[in-house]
């Protein structure tokens, strides 16, 4: 198969939502349809009945939430599907933002009862900024929820999207009978009282056919006809180009838990979603169909298998073919590296692959060479941009709780920070370590993982920091910069890359510092040259 054919049969997408909208359940059901797993793990009431395939970290099983992005792949109708299941919890949003740099499209999951929630708004905003094509899946139709038209209005107004329904519910909750698939002009109905079985799609071109009354009852049939007439009048017809440009968002209704509407979503998705796209680097646009390999690290995960202490760098292949045992240039380190056992992911199982194509995610065993954002090429000097570290919201001093385990603590912190779980700042004045996180729950995750994966224990101490501001390098002989360093030395630290960071104790301090030292530029994002203006 040619490179172009391999690219065209791939679909790489992320699933995003507010916590508990059913994102992980939807991922499970997609894997079921692809034959990647035999039985789905249900996530119910924050108690794991059977561990969900994409949640394979112990703390995830205990809490019933996803705290790390999972990479899952399967084949469906000769298409290679790569799913990136992201954390929904706001405390792990940074992991999700980074993952969105590695996807070509997105499925947004919305709870029918709760509608558009805060975290969904933030994540969709990131997708809109990047013009990522989005499909909306309104989930949990087997429960009582908002009216379908009210939900479509809410999605348009709160998320700023232009929607086009490609399926429509017949009833809801107790009265939920099924879905009319507008895309394929088919009727999908529940086939038993327990609402666990689904009939195969019944072709239904003409909704005025009296046979519809026999299938769903006269009242439901009349309501469906009226609603679909309204859909045709109010919403635009589907346009694939507009969808792929991020200007039009198809909407599907269903119930992931009951397998309802999931196959319809998947069948439409593989037809309309974009194949792997080109990506901008610091020097040029890299086309996915180029012969030479390029890729970038968007995630690092230590101890995926605690027995083997393995650390994997997840690389998104942007162009060319990634081949096993071939030398590639690590651009930042300026050295050639080759990989004897690159992994692909089949649900939570890993398997060694000889070749990977654009859109694929490859797991590379790493001994500490990789950081998030690093680029691999066949020799060309370029770096993919737009994988920022945001200024944390919460800060704590980290102290070693067991002096006998200082080495284990240092190693654990080093590896967890490389994963992007949090950020570590070392104070210039006394060398004390400060951890900064986007959400408070991450402190608990760090403590748990240090203990269970590295045998180290730590405790935290409050520190009065409002924001971490990266200091843009300036002439070190500049008198103003020297004065800034002298006056603010108690608040200066270095991040893991050695960049100078000003740990400001309040918004007022940031403002006054900028007024007093105008030549010293401060930023709330570390990758300021590409993504941020001064604060």
Give tens-digit pLDDT for 345-360. Answer: 765 567 888 999 999 9
Strongest mean pLDDT among 191-205, 283-297, 440-454:
283-297
CA-closest candidate to residue 367, choices 310, 298, 423: 310
pLDDT digits (tens, 9 = 90+) for 69-82: 467 888 888 888 88
pLDDT at site 172: 76
In whole angstroms, what is the distance from residue 346 CA to residue 38 CA?
A: 13
The answer to whether the beta carbons of residues 29 and 252 sit under 8 Å apart is: no
Instruction: Give the per-residue pLDDT at 389.
Output: 62
* Whole-number pLDDT of residue 190: 65
Lowest average pLDDT, out of 119-133, 244-258, 397-411, goes to 119-133
Q: Distance between CA atoms of 168 and 162, rounded to whole angstroms? A: 17
**Residues 124, 97 contacting (CB under 8 angstroms):** no
User: Look-up: residue for tokens 């700042």?
Assistant: 425
Greater confidence, 526 or 396? Answer: 396
Instruction: Look at residue 8 in the predicted model and tell me its pLDDT.
Output: 92
Per-residue pLDDT, 46:
34
- Fold topology of 279-377: Rossmann fold (3.40.50)
What's the mean pLDDT in 372-397?
83
Rounded Cα–Cα distance for residues 135 and 165 (Å): 10
**Where residue 162 falls among pLDDT bands split at 50, 70, 90?**
very high
Using the predicted structure, report yes or no on whether residue 235 has a pLDDT greater than 50: yes
What pLDDT is attached to residue 251? 94
CB-count exposure of residue 94 (10 Å: 0-12, 13-18, 19+):
buried
Contact assessment for residue 89 and residue 118, using Cβ atoms and an 8 Å cutoff: no
Please report the pLDDT score of residue 491 as a whole number: 92
Q: Are 26 and 256 in contact, with CB atoms under 8 Å apart? A: yes
The alpha carbon of 237 is separated from its chain's Cα centroid by a whole number of angstroms, namely 29
Q: Within 10 Å of residue 71's Cβ, how many Cβ atoms? A: 27
Q: What is the DSSP letter of 365?
A: E
pLDDT over threshold 80, residue 301:
no
Q: What is d(CA 161, CA 277) in angstroms, rounded to the nearest whole number?
A: 22
Mind listing the pLDDT tens digit for each residue in 404-413?
A: 888 999 988 8
What's domain 3-73+89-179+228-272's architecture?
A: 3-Layer(aba) Sandwich (3.40)
What whole-number distance in Å separates Cα of residue 379 and Cα of residue 293? Answer: 9
- Angular region, 22: left φ>0, alpha ψ -120 to 50, beta rest: left
Over residues 206-211, the mean pLDDT reads 75
Can you tell me the mean pLDDT for 158-162?
91
Q: For 40, which DSSP code?
A: P
How far is residue 261's CA from residue 169's CA, in Å, rounded to a whole number?
A: 9
**Strand, helix or coil for residue 507:** helix
| Per-domain boundaries in the chain | 3-73+89-179+228-272, 279-377, 394-531
Report in angstroms the alpha-carbon separations of 362 from 322, 350, 371.
Answer: 9, 10, 15
> What share of residues in the chain are helix, strand, coil (percent, to 5)?
30, 30, 40
H or E element, residue 109: strand 105-111
Q: Do domains 279-377 and 394-531 have the same CATH topology?
A: no
pLDDT for the residue 67: 37
Q: Among 4-8, 44-48, 141-145, 266-270, whose mean pLDDT is lowest? A: 44-48
Q: What is the mean pLDDT of the chain?
A: 81
- How many whole angstroms separate alpha carbon 57 and alpha carbon 449? 10
For residues 227-243, average pLDDT: 91
Report pLDDT digits (tens) over 20-67: 777 778 888 887 876 655 454 433 333 333 344 444 445 444 544 443
Overall average pLDDT of the 214-218 stretch: 80
Q: Which of 428, 342, 362, 435 is nearest to 394 (CA)?
A: 435
Specify the pLDDT at position 303: 57
Q: Outline where DSSP puts E strands in 131-208.
A: 134-139, 163-165, 167-170, 178-181, 186-189, 202-203
Q: What residues have CB less than 8 Å from 495, skipping those under 6 apart? A: 389, 423, 424, 425, 468, 470, 501, 526
> Where does the pLDDT of residue 94 fall: very low under 50, low under 70, confident under 90, or very high at 90 and above?
low
pLDDT of residue 200: 57
Q: Which of 69-83, 179-193, 369-383 has the lowest average pLDDT?
A: 179-193
The answer to whether 31 and 53 are in contact (CB under 8 A) is yes
Class of 394-531 per CATH?
Answer: alpha beta
Q: Please tell me the least confidently modeled range out of 1-10, 199-208, 307-316, 443-452.
A: 199-208
């Amino acid at each position: 198969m040619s490179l172009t054919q391999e690219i065209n049969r791939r679909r790489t997408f992320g699933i995003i939502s507010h916590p508990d909208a059913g994102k992980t359940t939807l991922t499970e059901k997609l894997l079921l349809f692809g034959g990647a797993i035999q039985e789905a793990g249900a996530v119910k009431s924050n108690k794991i009945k059977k561990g969900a395939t994409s949640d394979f970290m112990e703390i995830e099983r205990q809490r019933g939430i996803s705290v790390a992005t999972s990479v899952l792949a399967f084949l469906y109708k000769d298409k290679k599907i790569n799913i990136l299941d992201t954390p929904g919890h706001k405390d792990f949003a940074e992991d999700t933002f980074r993952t969105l740099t590695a996807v070509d499209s997105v499925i947004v999951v919305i709870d029918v009862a709760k509608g558009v929630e805060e975290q969904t708004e933030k994540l969709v905003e990131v997708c809109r900024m990047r013009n990522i094509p989005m499909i909306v899946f309104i989930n949990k139709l087997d429960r009582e929820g908002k009216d379908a038209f009210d939900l479509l209005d809410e999605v348009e107004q709160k998320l700023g999207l232009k929607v086009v329904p490609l399926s429509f519910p017949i009833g809801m909750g107790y009265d939920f009978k099924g879905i009319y698939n507008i895309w394929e002009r088919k009727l999908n109905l529940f086939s038993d009282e327990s609402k666990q079985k689904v009939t195969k799609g019944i072709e239904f071109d003409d909704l005025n056919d009296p046979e519809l009354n026999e299938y769903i009852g006269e009242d439901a049939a009349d309501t469906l006809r009226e609603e679909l007439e309204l859909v045709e009048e109010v919403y635009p017809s589907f346009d694939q180009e507009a969808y792929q440009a991020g200007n039009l968002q198809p909407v599907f209704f269903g119930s992931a838990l009951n397998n309802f509407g999931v196959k319809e979503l998947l069948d439409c998705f593989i037809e309309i979603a974009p194949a792997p796209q080109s990506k901008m680097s610091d020097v040029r646009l890299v086309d996915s169909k180029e012969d030479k390999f390029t890729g970038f690290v968007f995630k690092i995960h230590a101890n995926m298998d605690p027995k083997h202490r393995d650390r994997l760098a997840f690389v998104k292949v942007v162009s060319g073919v990634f081949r096993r045992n071939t030398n590639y240039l690590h651009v930042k380190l300026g050295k050639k590296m080759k990989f004897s056992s690159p992994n692909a992911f089949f649900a939570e199982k890993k398997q060694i692959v000889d070749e990977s194509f654009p859109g694929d995610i490859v797991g590379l065993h790493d001994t500490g060479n990789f950081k998030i954002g690093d680029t691999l090429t066949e020799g060309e000097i370029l770096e993919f941009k737009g994988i920022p570290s945001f200024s944390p919201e919460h800060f704590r001093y980290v102290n070693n709780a067991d002096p006998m385990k200082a080495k284990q603590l240092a190693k654990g912190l080093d590896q967890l920070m490389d994963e992007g779980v949090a950020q570590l700042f070392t104070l210039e004045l006394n060398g004390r370590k400060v951890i900064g996180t986007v959400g408070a729950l991450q402190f608990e995750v760090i403590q748990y993982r240090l203990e269970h994966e590295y045998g180290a224990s730590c405790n935290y101490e409050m520190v009065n920091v409002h924001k971490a501001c990266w200091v843009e390098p300036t002439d070190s002989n500049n008198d103003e910069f020297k004065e800034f360093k002298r006056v603010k030395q108690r608040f200066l630290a270095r991040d893991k890359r050695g960049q100078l960071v000003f740990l400001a104790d309040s918004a007022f301090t940031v403002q006054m510092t900028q007024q007093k030292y105008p030549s010293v530029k401060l930023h709330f994002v570390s990758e300021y040259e590409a993504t941020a203006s001064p604060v």
